Amino acid sequence: MKYWLIKSEPDVWSINQQKKAGVKGAPWDGVRNYQAAKNLKSMKKGDLCFFYHSNIGKEIVGVVKVIKESYIDKTDKTGRFVAVTVQFKSKFSKPITLESIKKNKDLSHLALIKQSRLSVMPVDYKSWKIINNMSRI
C-alpha cells in the first residue's frame, strides 16, 4: 500500500461533500499537471490519501481511500489526463494545518512544503504516521 496527499479547494469539493458521496465514492478529476497526473496513474486500489483543503484553510482534514485506479478523466476533452475514484474514510476532529506541518522538522522533506503547487503527491509511511498522530493531539 502507498500513501498520498490530494488537494482540493473546499469551495469546489470539500471533505463533507466527499463524505456525502458515500460508498460509491467520487472521481478525483480535473488534474491538469503532468507530475500530479503521473501520481494519479501510480495509485492502486486500497491506497490511502490525506484530503487537503487548499487555498481556504490550508489543512489536512481527513482520509480517503482509492477504490478505482486511473481511467481517462471525463472532464478532459484532450483525453490525456486521468482520474481515480476515492471514497471517504475519515474526517479529522482536529485538522492539521500547513503551518503545523512546516514546524515539524521530520516533515520538512514533504512535497507539500517543497512543491506547494502540486495537487497530488506521495507521502512516505513515516510521514503518514506522524501526520496521523498529529490529528490526535
Q: For 117-136, how does the pLDDT look when each residue is reduced to its tens digit (9 = 90+)?
A: 999 999 999 999 999 999 98
**Cα 100–chain centre separation:** 17
Would you tell me how many other CB atoms lie within 10 Å of the CB of residue 41?
Answer: 13
Amino acid type, 76 = D
Query: Can you tell me whether residue 15 is helix, strand or coil?
Result: helix
* pLDDT of res. 126: 98
pLDDT of residue 136: 85
pTM attached to this predicted model: 0.96
Please write the tens of the pLDDT for every residue from 102-120.
999 999 999 999 999 999 9
Report the side by side order of strands in the sheet with 3-8.
26-28, 82-97, 59-72, 48-53, 3-8, 120-123
pLDDT in tens, 15-62: 999 999 999 999 999 999 999 999 999 999 999 999 999 999 999 999
- Per-residue pLDDT, averaged over 78-100, amounts to 97
